[in-house]
Amino acid sequence: MVRIRGTVGEVPVDLTVELDDSDWARLGSALNVPAPAQPEMAAAPAAKPLNQDEALWQVAKDLLRKAGQLSGPDLLDQLEGLTGSAAAGKRLLVRLRHSSQVKVVSGGDTPLYSWIE
């Protein structure tokens, strides 16, 4: 389930979207996220599905990876839009800052977040 809160113009919006596995797969393919490998044997244990926080974390990493580099305010705006919450967007921003795959440098007035391979 994804909850989106904010405004459209001056109209407040509070939207809850429920996604099943096929919806998440379509969303992942739209973002060019590789699909998880399917087990070849039917007896193999199923992989634990990502919870909503981990799914948002993957999307946040993909967002920065595709952009290559974003300023802190631009990245925060996109993360807030993704999560529907300023607090959740800030949590993802902090998590990105501490990720070994992200380099943060001072870009004058704002930090610049860069994806490193």
Q: Which domains are present in the chain?
A: 2-34+51-115 (1.10.10.10)
The pLDDT, as a whole number, for residue 50 is 60
The pLDDT, as a whole number, for residue 43 is 52
The pLDDT, as a whole number, for residue 90 is 92
Segment 19-25 long-range contacts (CB within 8 Å, at least 24 positions apart): 21/49, 24/55
CB within 8 Å of 105: residues ≥ 6 apart:
111, 112, 114
The pLDDT, as a whole number, for residue 49 is 57
The pLDDT, as a whole number, for residue 39 is 54
Q: With a cut of 70, which residues of the chain have pLDDT below it?
A: 1-2, 32-50
